[in-house]
Structure 1
Amino acid sequence: MACGDERCKMADGSNATKTSAPRTSLPARPAEPRRLRGEPWLATVAVLFTLAQLVLVRPDLGLGWDETVYVSQVSGHVPAAYFSAPRSRGISFLVAPIASWSDSTVLLRIYLAVLSGLALYFALRVWRGHFRPGVLALAGALFASLWVTLFYGLQAMPNYWVAIGALACVGCFLRARAKARDRAAWWGLFAGAALMACMRPMDAVYVVLPLLVLALRRPRLLAVLVVGLVAGAGEWVIEAYTSYGGLAQRLSDASAIQGGLGWHLAVVDQLRSLGGRTLCRPCTGSVPNPAVTLWWFALPLLAVLGAVVAVRARRALPVLLPGACAVTAAVPYLFLIGYAAPRFLLPAYALLALPVAEGLAHLVTAPARRAGRTLAVGLVAVGLAGHLGVQYVVLEHTVHSSAASRADWARTATALHALGVRQPCLLSGYDAVPIAYYTGCGSAQTAGHDASTSVAELTRAAHRTSFAVLAPPGRRAPAYARTWPDERVGVLRAYVAPDAQRGR
């Protein structure tokens, strides 16, 4: 083909020196590998999350009631507390590397804070192919800055780890669905499902419901997801048959302990708990100040905005799927149980953070004019700053009140030691489970959710070991202990078996 224009002459370079002005060439900057894109952002979020836990929650915070149950299962320093039907041993396995040889709460908290930061980093990293680095880092920061995330990240409790498993599982599901050769995604899908099921089996099932629906026509995806759930919940199911009378009986007992699963409108209860109540049961009192709950109402609105933006951009699934899993994860705690705890919704918060970040990013980048964009950035910045301030205030209040109750348990334990209640020993009665851990004793109850023995067995135990029954002011001791010497221990009264007092 004949060619007479200037472009053809340039193509073979014959007139290159005549038609192009001389210029100094600079060495080209190597392109950043895709796998490293956004890494500093995610690492920064994870490091700041770890440091915030250690500074704001503090590693010297004593163990809470549920924590003492989980830690005692693997502790080499105290007898294992009764393990009720709803509980799963995943968190006990997680703390075993420290709790099995050390009774230091500070060391355990530092270990969990570092581990939770690393876990957040890797769970966010899964999503790099679906969200811009800044949006993904914002999602991580939004989740990590919630007071409930900061408070429970370094605690021996399962809910944060269900959230991390959910984040990793959904992200790996999308990656494996898009690229069957991505081996890391398949292993991540299995591990995320197994982590959730190991920590809280029923939570895991609710989280993955949308994934199961999408995987119905993908046998390999479905198989890996189900195998992950079975692997994580296997120990819980086996234990159901060895210790609880079978799977159906354990599920029934777990439902009874939780007040009976069924229609319960717990939305208002969750609102009441946002003011820093770690357990709202019974959930009475007023809803916190609107400034404290405003973020909770903004959350679904921003998530919907993010979903709309994603649909318009023809990248709906990476935004809609975590939103759908967040909804199914939240349903049982909003509509099926009659009480509330803010930690129950941590998996939903982790998953909703992705569409929420997408919505916020759209707000600050959508306005075409510079003035509109500046205004949007200013409003979002002010809103986020106010949100962070509210989260800090609630966190500080929660830490202070929790530390006070745990200090009371420690003082009661010291007073019991002074009365001669020392290892090997046994406690029963009011708050016996956590106080037993602080005292170094075992615990046993004849009634309630932690009922594990009979009055006759406790009476016999009183002759064999150091034993005390705890009662709050104004409440009488059980009949078998009313003739025992009693003394005040903290705010409680301790009825100490005579055999225990002889050891003073």
Structure 2
Amino acid sequence: MTTPAAPAAPTVPAAASSARAAARRRASALACVSLAYGLVQVAAVVPWLGLGWDESVYVSQTDPHHPAAYFSAPRSRGVSYLTAPVTWLTNDPHAVHLWLALLSAAALYAAFAVWRPLLGTARCALAAALFASLWTALLYGPQAMPNLWVALGTVTATGWLLRGAAASGRGGGERASGGRSGPGGAPAVRVRGGAGRDAGVRGGALALRGPLTASARWAWCGVALAVAGVTLLRFPDGCWLALPLGLACLAHRPLRRPAPMAALAGGLVAGAVPWIVEAYGRWGGIGARLRVSSDVQGEMGLRWAGGDAWRSVNGPLLCRPCDIDPYQPWLTWWWLLLPVLALACAVRARRGRGAVMWLPLACAVALSLPYLLALGYSAPRFFLPTYALLALPLAATALDVARGRRPYVLALCAVLALYGASQVTGFWRTLMGARHTTHRYETVAARLNKAGIRPPCLLTGAQVPPIAYAAGCASGNLAGNNKNLTPTTLRTHTSRIPVAAITAADAGPPAYARGWRPMPLPGTGLRAWVARRD
């Protein structure tokens, strides 16, 4: 009787090819999340929205066809650079939003893909899904606002810093965790051989398997570019991000070298240059601009704003003053649970996960501090960078705990379903509110154009930046945070071009507009006062 021959072992090329195919299939999960994120924006946000107040300010800075709106001290120029490729061709709000929707979907993929060698594809895909399914991330993805882009920049910067640490630590057997060990003495972050494999968790320690997709030198370039981008988008957020990253360079052994510190400092300085130059050109220095910024934002100082943040979790888009009752407070459970989950991730990091867990947690805390402890108002978008960073350790911990345990898998699915339901509710409500607001701006602008207020023209008064941009007019005010006119300048304009002041429907004319012709704007809650031209 002949013994059947044992099946031949797969050859090395065949095994490597199979591993690469499996890696491609796993990588498609993150691509699917990013594609879905872009499609939801294109289908549910782009067709509905015009430009909001802040959007019209940012977009007008690079629009050669319209006058630029007043650019106040707290703003940074990064968003204007993002929209410039479109605004040079057209000022159609839908074109601007479509461009940003596609760009944000690509940026979501690029930001979380940086973490694939550190966490593995499944964890990165879940983290990206947790962040992308937030109603704030969906609503602001196609909008010309800085917070979402800051969020993706912080994810990118922290990921490249950790990849640079791992690439540095693998030479000579140096531990990338800075000496911290997991259970059984295993290093918290270590590199193993085997090409084409994703990161995995064994014995409570994160093992980075296989060669990195970029050397440490390229990782430091990634850090510099990401930090520069964040700082260019929002100067204060760039400084708050640099704080924990700088401390990591001092505390984490693989980062205690000149290259990562130089990359961090160089990125911060490069991104801050436009802000600093403008500070000296328009306000007389950095200190003066910071003081003006504080005044515009309601005199920033040490105060607890966590209550304001909680009340505005489900909207309104800007809570100033935030003396409202929270909308459907039972839907804010996920927000109240975040500190508990973050603490659980921090405990798990102490048990062996190392810098891959604690660095995004530290950055998330740092970026939330000014909005929890300094501002006297709140907006849901302020915390987008914190949510993006927290999504990474939360996704990793959730999958680690649920792996191979059916009850935990079912519990995780239930929690994710409840989370999704709460976000859908918030998304639809705020989308309809934003649609109503931007439609009102466009309606007022169209009626002003029809009444003869056409370019070149000037609008002053309440809510004028978005209305003026939609009408093709310049905007200006004699008082307030957007003051950029004097009474003499205004009188000169009224003798040369059409000028109108916008007020509430039940308000009288401003002092400078007494004697101007009233123009009702029914259905908008506003009224125009048109200057008489002799």
State the TM-score, normalized to the length of structure 2.
Answer: 0.86
CA distance in 2, matches of 1:37, 1:334: 41
Give 1:23's aligned residue: 6
Quick one: which amino acid aligns to residue 69 of structure 2?
A
- Of residues 252-261 and 32-41 in structure 1, the stretch that sits farther from structure 2 once superposed is 32-41
CA distance in 2, matches of 1:108, 1:59: 11
Give 2:532's aligned residue: 498
CA distance in 2, matches of 1:35, 1:262: 49
Matched, 1:346 2:384: yes
Give 1:14's aligned residue: none
Instruction: State the secondary structure of the residue aligned to 1:486.
Output: strand
Deviations 1:402-425 (A, max 9, x none): 111111111111211122100000
| Contact 1:73 1:92 (8 Å CA) reproduced | yes
Q: How does 1:93-108 map to 2 (within 5 A)?
A: 93-108=81-96
Shift of 1:60: 3.9
Do the aligned partners of residues 37 and 168 (structure 1) sit closer, same or farther apart at CA in structure 2, a change above 3 Å counting?
farther
- Of residues 238-247 and 27-36 in structure 1, the stretch that sits farther from structure 2 once superposed is 27-36
Quick one: which amino acid aligns to residue 196 of structure 1?
V
Give 2:517's aligned residue: 485
CA distance in 1, matches of 2:504, 2:157: 46
Quick one: which amino acid aligns to residue 84 of structure 1?
S
Quick one: which amino acid aligns to residue 423 of structure 2?
Q
Instruction: State the secondary structure of the residue aligned to 1:130.
Output: helix
Cα RMSD for the two superposed structures: 1.8
CA distance in 2, matches of 1:127, 1:24: 38
Alignment equivalent of 2:98, drawn from 97, 102, 110: 110
Q: How does 1:323-342 map to 2 (within 5 A)?
A: 323-342=361-380
Matched, 1:391 2:423: yes
Instruction: State the secondary structure of the residue aligned to 2:519.
Output: strand
Alignment equivalent of 1:74, drawn from 62, 69, 80: 62
CA distance in 2, matches of 1:214, 1:308: 18
Matched, 1:150 2:138: yes
Alignment equivalent of 2:497, drawn from 438, 459, 465: 465
- Of residues 41-50 and 290-299 in structure 1, the stretch that sits farther from structure 2 once superposed is 290-299
CA distance in 1, matches of 2:6, 2:49: 65
CA distance in 2, matches of 1:24, 1:203: 59
Give 1:277's aligned residue: 316
CA distance in 1, matches of 2:512, 2:359: 58
Quick one: which amino acid aligns to residue 328 of structure 1?
A
Deviations 1:141-196 (A, max 9, x none): 00010001111111000111111110000111111122244233111101110010
Matched, 1:309 2:353: no
| Contact 1:306 1:357 (8 Å CA) reproduced | no
Alignment equivalent of 1:122, drawn from 110, 121, 140: 110
State the TM-score, normalized to the length of structure 1.
Answer: 0.91
Matched, 1:197 2:235: no
Q: How does 1:130-141 map to 2 (within 5 A)?
A: 130-141=118-129
Q: How does 1:142-221 map to 2 (within 5 A)?
A: 142-180=130-168, 181-216=215-250, 217-221=256-260
CA distance in 1, matches of 2:267, 2:30: 26
Matched, 1:319 2:302: no
What is the identity percentage for the equivalent residue pairs of Structure 1 and Structure 2?
41
Q: How does 1:276-295 map to 2 (within 5 A)?
A: 276-295=315-334
Give 2:176's aligned residue: none
Do the aligned partners of residues 37 and 210 (structure 1) sit closer, same or farther apart at CA in structure 2, a change above 3 Å counting?
farther
Give 2:301's aligned residue: 262
CA distance in 1, matches of 2:105, 2:331: 26
Give 2:436's aligned residue: 404
CA distance in 1, matches of 2:366, 2:413: 31
Give 1:8's aligned residue: none
Q: Any unmatched runs of 5+ in structure 2?
A: 169-214, 251-255
- Greater C-alpha Rg: 1
Quick one: which amino acid aligns to residue 355 of structure 1?
P
Shift of 1:139: 0.6
Give 1:4's aligned residue: none
Give 2:455's aligned residue: 423
Quick one: which amino acid aligns to residue 163 of structure 2?
R
Shift of 1:77: 2.4
CA distance in 2, matches of 1:320, 1:59: 40
Instruction: State the secondary structure of the residue aligned to 2:264.
Output: helix
Quick one: which amino acid aligns to residue 160 of structure 2?
C
Quick one: which amino acid aligns to residue 166 of structure 2?
A
CA distance in 1, matches of 2:41, 2:138: 6
Instruction: State the secondary structure of the residue aligned to 1:331.
Output: helix
CA distance in 1, matches of 2:307, 2:441: 31
Give 2:270's aligned residue: 231
CA distance in 1, matches of 2:143, 2:471: 20
Shift of 1:105: 1.5
